[in-house]
Structure 1
Amino acid sequence: MAKTVFYSFHYKRDVHRVQLVKNINALEGQPVLSSQAWEQVERGGSKAIQQWIDEQMKYKRAVVVLIGRETASRPWVKYEVQKAWQDKKPLLGVRIHGLSSMGSVDSIGGNPFTSAGLAGVPIFDPTKVDWQNRIDSQATYRALLGHIEAWSSKGATRP
């Protein structure tokens, strides 16, 4: 079972949702940097970002892509997916658009694995809706809480 994971996500749009995932404490992931700390890494340019990602991913047992509305189009998410595949780390996705960020949920995002040319990588979706077919963020959180640890052991690995 993958207990230590690298979380791949779109920082600016989804950091609050990612904090909810981390607060479940079912998995140990890399630290989610404050916006100031992330900006400091970014100021170092592409090489610094790549080095930070490589170092954080190095000893993780799996890579979990936390998929929000814009995740699939993010260049660093694409890099992280390709690196995980190249390094033969188990890779999976978990949809987080149904979690609340500052009181609102988001719409579903694209598949970051097909945009990276990978097929067969599982994506798990804890999103729950209420009787009016609106996303219920609290029920979604409870579903994620009950499943994320088991899902983390079901990633696809490059042969």
Structure 2
Amino acid sequence: MARKVFFSFHFDNDYWRTQTVRNMGSLDGQTLATANKWEELKRTSDQAVRDWITSNMKGKSCLVVLNGSSTAGRKWINYEIKKAWEDGRGVVGIHVNKLKHSDGTQSQRGSTPFSNITVNGYSLAGIPKLWIPGGSTSQEAYDSISKHIGGWIEEAIRIRKQYTGAL
């Protein structure tokens, strides 16, 4: 049975790449908001966005940050990472920059989204893993993610359990 996960990503840059990972079939992720729905949600209120995140994280065992060139440091990505950790979910990152976008391009690898996150005064820097898929082509990166993502998620869940009560 596939793990239920919540995908965290920079919508404008990586929605297409996220769909690619989501469609691998090895995970059960939340239904992704459309561009119109996400923009509508952001225009309502910060509380509405927080409520949407909370609702969509319910029942998920792991947060998978699909890290593109501009993912780190974004307000809602930071919120999702912190919330997932506080709620006891596994947290893992995967660089998706080698996966082609809808226009056929790859992007630059982004910096770690975990280094500036603190929970109860403790830094998450170096705790959740940020994986670099093998290969240099989009197909090689896809194959690497497809082969390893299940193990990466299981490891993230084990790592989070090691920190229960510690942070």
Q: Is this a same-fold pair by TM over 0.5?
A: yes
Distance, in Å, in 2 between the alignment partners of 1:28 and 1:99 is 20
1:132 equivalent in structure 2: none
Q: Residue 47 in 1 paired to residue 54 in 2?
A: no
Q: Write out per-residue CA displacement over residues 52-85 of structure 1, whole angstroms, 9 at most, x where no aligned residue.
A: 0011012101111111111112110000011011
Q: Calculate percent identity across the aligned residue pairs.
A: 34
Q: Write out per-residue CA displacement over residues 9-29 of structure 1, whole angstroms, 9 at most, x where no aligned residue.
A: 111110010000011011011
* 2:154 counterpart SS class: coil
* 2:6 counterpart SS class: strand
2:120 equivalent in structure 1: none
Distance, in Å, in 2 between the alignment partners of 1:50 and 1:22 is 22
Residues 2 and 26 of structure 2 are in contact (CA less than 8 Å); yes or no, is this contact kept in structure 1? no
Name structure 1 gaps, 5 residues minimum.
130-135
1:25 equivalent in structure 2: 25
Per mean C-alpha deviation after superposition, the further-off stretch among 112-121 and 68-77 is 112-121
Distance, in Å, in 2 between the alignment partners of 1:53 and 1:76 is 9
Q: Write out per-residue CA displacement over residues 115-149 of structure 1, whole angstroms, 9 at most, x where no aligned residue.
A: 213132111111412xxxxxx11111111111112
Superposition deviation, residue 2 in structure 1:
6.9
Name structure 2 gaps, 5 residues minimum.
118-122
2:146 equivalent in structure 1: 145
Which one-letter code corresponds to 1:54 in the other structure?
A: T
Which one-letter code corresponds to 2:145 in the other structure?
A: L
Per mean C-alpha deviation after superposition, the further-off stretch among 11-20 and 140-149 is 140-149
* 2:155 counterpart SS class: coil
* 1:28 counterpart SS class: strand
TM-score (norm 1): 0.91
Which one-letter code corresponds to 1:148 in the other structure?
A: I
Q: How many residues align?
A: 153
Distance, in Å, in 2 between the alignment partners of 1:12 and 1:27 is 22
> RMSD in angstroms over aligned alpha carbons?
1.4
Distance, in Å, in 2 between the alignment partners of 1:25 and 1:2 is 8
TM-score (norm 2): 0.87
2:130 equivalent in structure 1: 123
Any residues of structure 2 matched to 1:2-151 within 5 Å, and which?
Answer: 3-101=3-101, 102-116=103-117, 117-118=123-124, 119-129=126-136, 136-151=137-152
Distance, in Å, in 1 between the alignment partners of 2:153 and 2:111 is 20
Which one-letter code corresponds to 1:112 in the other structure?
A: P
Distance, in Å, in 2 between the alignment partners of 1:51 and 1:70 is 24
